[in-house]
Amino acid sequence: MTHSDITEEGTKEKPDDIQAAQAGPASTDQVILATAGYDHTIKFWAAHSGVCTRTHQHPDSQVNCLEITPDGNMLAAGGYQHIRMYDLTSGNLNPIVNYDQGITKNVMAVGCQDDGKWMYTGGEDCSARIWDLKMRNLSCQRIFQANAPVNSVCLHPNQQELIVGDQAGVIHRWNLKNDQSEQLIPEPGTAIQHIDIDPVGQYMAVVNSKGKCYIWSLSTGEDNTQLLPKIQIPAHDKYALCCKFSPDSSLLATTSADQTCKIWRTSDFSLQEVNPVHELTCETQRWVWDCSFTADSAYIVTASSDGAARLWNTKSGALKREYLGHQKALTSVAFRDISHVK
């Protein structure tokens, strides 16, 4: 299941009175929170108040994925047959870079190298790509070709390995240093929906279209990372859509078509049976497509098909705030606390 398969049934019209000024820099505050989806807009929010502070139009297609660069200066948005880069330091609401050459289908994943020198993407054209960001333009440096549409791409904290997950159920480990790749197939024919590695490089999590979450322990080998199977968790009864580790590596969040985001303790991965710490849901929430932890791991923001983003307390599981203003399904959320930028 991909974003292009989403239905619009049940999305709600939201009031416009919380949509604030449409101009001004988005990165003047320490915290940047952005959401996007099927209403062809990208919205920025005052995280503490829930007020929309800036809206970018994205008329070409839905937005499938978002990423804020490590310095907080730019936002990358992946859509159908293109990538758009927005400048967050100015009042310019139009993309400063538009790239669509050679991209034939949906861009499903986007991320940045820690120093912000290059960006990586994955898409339904069965490829993962590396882009040069040093000159503030998009120049494709390298391409990895898979045999099926790519749903997820994850960069190892060592900055030298890209983990690519495709719809055929294959996990590709692409070593950027020697350009070699290896395959891992946890469940043949079952689509890999999302992949994440915790910030300290201890665990890798993978969720698939049957709602399962696979955990591997990671160890550093001579040429690449060694993966040791840890546990398989029946995380959700329906499609799992996303998995994210918290910045302090203590928590793992999984989201699903079952209308929940579940929080798991990484300390429990040594147990034979793992239970979620919290199951984050509410009456109006629908498919939860994406999530992002705050820098202190104390909160998590979710993006749902009902058009709402929500802020939850990871310690209590309480719903703290809703971000209302999108007119259709939300597929992407990006959070960056630039006070943590080195």
Supply the pLDDT for residue 84: 95
DSSP state of 124: T
C-alpha–C-alpha distance, residues 170 and 147, integer Å: 9
**What average pLDDT does this structure show over 274-294?**
97
C-alpha–C-alpha distance, residues 206 and 111, integer Å: 17
Supply the pLDDT for residue 135: 74
Higher pLDDT, 148 or 223: 148
C-alpha–C-alpha distance, residues 280 and 246, integer Å: 15
User: Which residue, among 88, 73, 99, 11, has the nearest Cα to 42 in the 3D structure?
Assistant: 88
C-alpha–C-alpha distance, residues 156 and 302, integer Å: 23
C-alpha–C-alpha distance, residues 56 and 268, integer Å: 41
**What average pLDDT does this structure show over 205-211?**
98
Positive or negative, the CA dihedral 221, 212, 38, 290 is negative
Supply the pLDDT for residue 139: 87
| Phi, psi of 5, rounded to the nearest 5 degrees | -90, 0
Sheet holding 41-46, edge to edge: 51-57, 41-46, 31-37, 330-337
Q: Which of 2-6, 85-89, 290-294, 334-338 comes out lowest in average pLDDT?
A: 2-6
pLDDT digits (tens, 9 = 90+) for 46-63: 999 999 999 999 999 999
Q: Are 289 and 241 in contact (CB under 8 A)?
A: yes
**What average pLDDT does this structure show over 137-152?**
94
C-alpha–C-alpha distance, residues 264 and 257, integer Å: 18
**What average pLDDT does this structure show over 320-334?**
97
pTM score of the predicted model: 0.91
Question: For residue 301, what pLDDT band results from cuts at 50, 70 and 90?
Answer: very high
C-alpha–C-alpha distance, residues 176 and 220, integer Å: 15
CA 35 to centroid of chain Cα atoms? 11
Q: Residue 19 corresponds to which tokens in the numbers above?
A: 């949509």
Q: Residue 321 corresponds to which tokens in the numbers above?
A: 């705030």
pLDDT digits (tens, 9 = 90+) for 84-115: 999 999 989 999 999 988 899 999 999 999 99
Sheet holding 240-245, edge to edge: 240-245, 251-256, 261-265, 278-280
Supply the pLDDT for residue 101: 81
- Taking 60 as the threshold, does the pLDDT of residue 5 lie above it? no
Spans of all domains in the chain: 3-340
pLDDT digits (tens, 9 = 90+) for 8-67: 333 333 333 333 434 456 655 689 999 999 999 999 999 999 999 999 999 999 999 999
| Phi, psi of 149, rounded to the nearest 5 degrees | -55, 140
**CA distance to 16, 35, 299, per residue, from 325 (Å):** 6, 10, 21
Q: Name 183's bridge partners.
A: 172
Which CATH number does 3-340 carry? 2.130.10.10
pLDDT digits (tens, 9 = 90+) for 174-193: 999 999 999 999 999 999 99
C-alpha–C-alpha distance, residues 33 and 334, integer Å: 6
Residue 317: Cβ within 10 Å count:
15
Positive or negative, the CA dihedral 83, 120, 310, 306 is positive
- Taking 90 as the threshold, does the pLDDT of residue 289 lie above it? yes
User: Which residue, among 330, 329, 311, has the nearest Cα to 319 in the 3D structure?
Assistant: 311
Q: Are 36 and 63 in contact (CB under 8 A)?
A: yes
Q: Which of 61-75, 131-145, 246-260 comes out lowest in average pLDDT?
A: 131-145
Burial tier of 59 (Cβ tally within 10 Å: 0-12, 13-18, 19+): exposed
